[in-house]
Amino acid sequence: MRNFFQNLGYRFATFMYGRNGIDAFGKFLVIAALICTLLSNLPFLDVLYLVGTALMIYALFRCSSKNLYKRQQENMKYISASQKFKSYFALRKKMWQERNTHRYFKCSCGTHLRVPKGKGKIKIHCSKCGKDMIKNT
Ligand SMILES: [Zn+2]
CA of 110 to the centre of ligand 1 (A): 6
Q: Is the pLDDT of residue 37 over 80?
A: yes
- Percent of the chain with pLDDT strictly greater than 90: 80
- For the segment 95-106, the average pLDDT, to the nearest whole number, is 95
- End-to-end CA gap in the chain: 76
pLDDT at 70: 95
**Residue 126 banded pLDDT, cuts 50, 70, 90:** very high
Q: Which amino acid is at 54?
A: A
Neighbouring C-beta atoms of residue 56, cutoff 10 Å: 17
Average pLDDT score over the chain:
93
CA 108 vs CA 13, 59, 87, 121: distances in Å: 53, 40, 19, 19
Q: Is the pLDDT of residue 1 over 80?
A: no
CA of 35 to the centre of ligand 1 (A): 40
> What is the C-alpha to C-alpha distance for residues 70 and 12, in angstroms, rounded to an integer?
23
Residue 58 exposed, middle or buried by CB count within 10 Å (0-12, 13-18, 19+) = middle
CA of 135 to the centre of ligand 1 (A): 14
CA of 44 to the centre of ligand 1 (A): 47
Residue 36: half-sphere exposure toward Cβ, Cα within 13 Å:
17
Residue 74 exposed, middle or buried by CB count within 10 Å (0-12, 13-18, 19+) = middle
- For the segment 76-92, the average pLDDT, to the nearest whole number, is 95
pLDDT at 73: 95
pLDDT at 137: 86
Q: Is the pLDDT of residue 21 over 80?
A: yes
Q: Is the pLDDT of residue 65 over 80?
A: yes
